[in-house]
Each structure stands twice: as C-alpha cells, then as structure tokens.
C-alpha cells in the first residue's frame, strides 16, 4: 500500500469571535511573531490536547428541506452579507419565534393562563 504524500501548508478557514481575533493580534505583537498563522501554530504546539475537556454546547443539529429557490436566496444573501447560511437561518428564526419570556406575554386575547383544560369526552353520558 502506497503511503499518502505529505502536503505543504494549506489554508484553513474558521470563524472566531472578533474579541479573540483582537487577542491574536495582541499576542502576535507581544511575542514578536510574524503572522497570525505563527500565533495559531504556537497555540497548537503549546496546547495540552490530552487535558482538553470540551464544554457541552447548548445546540443541536437539524436537517430541513428547502426548495431550490429558498436555498439560492439563503446562500445568495449569506454571500452578500459575508456570513454563513447558518447565521442567517438563526437570525430568521429569532425574528420569527418569540423569546420564551415573551411567549407567555403574547398569549391570544380572551384566554387566561390559569384556565383548566377540559377532559376529552369518552362518549358516555352521565345520568
């Protein structure tokens, strides 16, 4: 079996919070490193991967079906705004769905929160 050739460095793109990017620049200047890539390589070289214990994320992944036209619209706007499609999707959902605390306040008029639900009918009459 032939071994895989070792590739040279290749670009790796990922999203970081702006505050972390600013910290990378400060670290670069403070350590006298030539590039952001040098900071990342240094961080990876010094990082204790064995001791890393990830914090559970309060997110889950879902799959949905979108029409080709909806997908095109989503990805076109993502490119124009220079954000991921996921960011736009989350923003659209946040705009549509009321926040949990506001949901209670947005109850339809005429209904009270303390009203008991009626039991379903069993079809038998009481006499």
pLDDT for 115: 47
Asked whether residue 119 is assigned to any structural domain, the reply reads: no
pTM value? 0.49
78 within a domain of the structure (yes/no): yes
**Pair (44, 67) in one structural domain:** no
Q: Are 42 and 71 in the same domain?
A: no
What is the band of 126 on the pLDDT scale with cuts at 50, 70, 90? very low
The pLDDT tens digits of the residues spanning 100-124 come to 765 555 555 554 444 444 454 555 4
Q: What is the CATH number of the domain that holds 67?
A: 1.10.1220
Q: Number of structural domains, the chain?
A: 2
Residue 82 covered by a domain: yes
Averaged confidence pLDDT in the chain: 79
- 55-76 per-position pLDDT tens digit: 887 878 888 898 999 999 999 9
Q: Which domain holds residue 82?
A: 61-98
Query: How many of the other CB atoms lie within 10 Å of CB of 110?
Result: 5
Tokens of 65: 């079906």
């Amino acid at each position: 079996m032939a071994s895989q050739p070792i590739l040279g460095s290749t670009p790796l793109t990922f999203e970081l919070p702006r505050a972390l990017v600013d910290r990378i620049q400060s670290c670069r200047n403070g350590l006298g490193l030539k590039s952001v890539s040098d900071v990342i390589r240094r961080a990876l070289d010094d990082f204790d991967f064995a001791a890393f214990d990830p914090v559970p994320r309060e997110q889950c992944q879902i799959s949905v079906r979108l029409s080709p036209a909806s997908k095109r619209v989503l990805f076109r706007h993502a490119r124009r705004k220079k954000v991921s499609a996921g960011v736009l999707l989350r923003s659209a959902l946040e705009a549509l769905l009321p926040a949990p605390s506001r949901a209670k306040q947005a109850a339809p008029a005429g209904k009270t929160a303390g009203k008991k639900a009626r039991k379903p009918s069993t079809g038998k009459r009481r006499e």
